[in-house]
Amino acid sequence: MRAQTGTWSAVLLVTLLLGGALLGAPSQASAEGIVTFLQMTADRCPESGACEWRLSCGAGGPEESEMIPGADARTKYSVAINKGLAIRTFPITIHCTAWEDDGWFGTTWEKVGSASVEAPAGGDYKLTIANREQGTVSIRMAVDSLEIGPAAMPGTAAAAASAARPAAGKKAAAPAKATAPRTLVGAFIPQKNGHAVVIGLEEKAFKAKVDELSGLGLQIDDIETWEQGGKRLWSGIFRNSPDQVQLITGQDWDKFSTSWKKLTGGKMRLTDMEVYPGGGQNLFAGVFRDLGESHSLWVGQTRKDFADKVKELAGFKGQRLLDFEPYGSGTATLYAGTFRVDTLATDLWTGLKLADFQSRVNGLRGKNTQIIDIETYKDGKDRIFEAVTRTGPAGDVVMGVDLNTFAKRWLEMIGKGERLVSLESYQE
């Protein structure tokens, strides 16, 4: 599923990286990103053989950039484009214009027409340009968006204002002290489909975002949560999907296990989960998808017992580890994990310090193994990194960067045809 490589201009990449500075210190929740024009397909061609097409596209303003200077295409024949344009804000109008060569003894470009599509956020988009005499072409695009909430930026004016904002009828608190920035770790894999990434929204705003994107056909795929400045913040990765998806948060184990039994009584399956402290106990959150197949959930095991269970279920029932979560329980670290029958082999890395983890990541280069989930936690003075791998083209891992740097690296990964599948953050 590897997407475009080596097709992004140096000018575009520099522009995108400069745009990362704006991502680094937003005054309010903001989104920027990229639209990648993947391919053009000739749906109808007036010539008896092949038609020659030209295509230009733009995002936002009226200007358009040349995507295809001229290419022959038979009906239902696709021409690869693999060129990207920066997006400075969402929603964005993406527009294209097509021409067809109508000359007999030379090139005479006749305008087929123009069309546009509105992109409220990242995802997969398509537009069609049609003309009765000149033919019809469709353009497939992958749009990627990154939205960062103001409260996620410690030390910025927006974060301080968010943390210090008083409740109705109460006096404003003293300005919050700047805290150490959060460190992010992200796993990327080769993928052509566009996605939307949201980082650092408070729970009410995050759930509203989940509902909003779901209405656009973008379903939550991965969640991450942490506490910062006395507030619990949430992040998520969204992708186009026809599946029915349900997100539940803030449930203790008894309520969560009841929800799990109810939701998985049909075709729903738990695919991603978080365990986090709240109110003096551990709370559970989960993403359930309409998938079917044999499945199971294991909670409260030690590292060794959990690693043994991963091997047992894979070998005995063909159930592969989808997602796992190490969490604190008293002085112990326990594990929770969700499993489902799958043909793709998975493996679990546990108990690795940074150097060992990085060595294993480097060892995946050139192999048909990709990282799909990363977790990290403190064990005494040591920071531990763990991961789930599965069969598939190797991607990249962005390790130990602040939010501004992560935004820049996110842009770089999309330019390589890789997209985020797992996001983890921590604060030392």
pLDDT 10s digits, 179-226: 677 899 999 999 999 999 999 999 999 999 999 999 999 999 999 999
d(CA 389, CA 323): 10
Whether omega before 91 lies within 30 degrees of 0, making that bond cis, reads yes
pLDDT at residue number 14: 30
Which pLDDT value is given to residue 103?
A: 61
Q: What is the pLDDT of residue 31?
A: 83
**Is the per-residue pLDDT at 128 higher than 80?**
yes
- Please tell me the distance from the alpha carbon of residue 225 to that of residue 206, in angstroms, as a whole number: 11
Please report which confidence band the pLDDT of residue 381 belongs to, taking 50, 70 and 90 as the band edges: very high
Q: How high is the mean pLDDT of the chain?
A: 87
**Mean pLDDT calculated for residue range 35-59:** 89
pTM more than 0.85 = yes
The pLDDT confidence band at residue 74, using thresholds 50, 70 and 90, is confident
Q: How many residues does the chain have?
A: 428
Give pLDDT, residue 251: 98
How much is the pLDDT for 134? 85
pLDDT at 173: 54
